[in-house]
Amino acid sequence: MAISVKELGRSPGNMITLEERIAAPAELGVALIGVQEGSPVDLDLRFEAVHEGILVSGTAFAEVTGECGRCLGPIANDLDVEIQELYYYEGMGMPEDEEAEQYRVVDDYVDLEPVLRDAVVTALPFQPVCREDCEGLCSECGIRLEEDPGHHHELLDPRWAALTGLADTAADPAAQRTDSVEREES
């Protein structure tokens, strides 16, 4: 996704605009949500020559799809992100520790893909949800809690499982008589 900025030269104040629909690059998202590879991304950008390099600013618009982090239901939303990044000319004197972190104008081209990826990925939710009040899935059986609002499981600590039989016999008078008859016969 390299864009030529040759016509700007190195003359501060020169500017060009770009309104273009591009195909989304691979891996434009996170595990649960993102922009599908090849889907349209609308760019509305301005490239301005400044003393240090080329300032790219504007917006990118795309549709994001994925899964709810609670119920795993499908999600589809529009995403509109702001982009602003300075691409430095080669040979500009920067401190060495900052040099590796900066974008560069290389052979009169700027590569928009890493900037687009940074803008989109940081705008995506860490835990996407289909609705703020989504109840998610039952942790025991996986049923969607929205479909069965009163759903619950009687969870018994396995250390107390042996005592469940005692509670049943204490509540059943017939079982108590049978137990007492068995004790008398012994």
> Is 115 a member of any domain?
yes
Task: Give helix 173-185 / helix 164-171 axis angle, nearest 10°.
Answer: 100
Which residue segment(s) compose the domain that 94 sits in? Answer: 2-123
In a domain, 33, yes or no: yes
Question: Facing residues of 18 across strands?
Answer: 45
Residue 129 has pLDDT above 90, yes or no: yes
The more confidently predicted of residues 76 and 90 is: 76
Q: Is residue 141 part of a domain?
A: no
- Indicate whether 51 belongs to any domain: yes
Closest alpha carbon to 32 in 62, 65, 67, 63 = 67
Instruction: Name the least confident of 14-23, 49-58, 164-173.
Output: 164-173
Identify the residue with better confidence: 175 or 139. Answer: 139
Whether 155 is in a domain gets the answer no
pLDDT exceeds 80 at position 15: yes
Question: Is the distance from CB of 76 to CB of 65 less than 8 angstroms?
Answer: yes
Q: Is the pLDDT of residue 94 over 80?
A: no
- Whether 45 shows a pLDDT value over 90: the answer reads yes
Instruction: Report the pLDDT averaged over residues 15-23.
Output: 94
Percent of the chain with pLDDT strictly greater than 90: 52
pLDDT tens digits, one per residue of 59-71: 999 999 999 999 9
| Average pLDDT over all residues of the chain | 85
Tally Cβ neighbours within 10 Å of residue 41: 22
Which pLDDT belongs to residue 101?
67
pLDDT more than 70, % of the chain: 83
Q: 46 near 85, Cβ under 8 Å?
A: no
Per the domain annotation, does 57 fall within a domain? yes
pLDDT recorded at residue 9: 83
Beta bridge partners of 41: 22, 62
Domain count, the chain: 1
3-class SS of residue 25: coil
Cα of 162 vs its chain's centroid, Å: 45
- Decide if 49 is inside a domain: yes
Q: Is the pLDDT of residue 178 over 60?
A: no
Cα 122 to chain centroid distance, Å, stands at: 9
Contacts of 94 (CB under 8 A, 6+ apart): 88, 102
Residue 109 is classified by DSSP as: E
Asked whether residue 54 is assigned to any structural domain, the reply reads yes
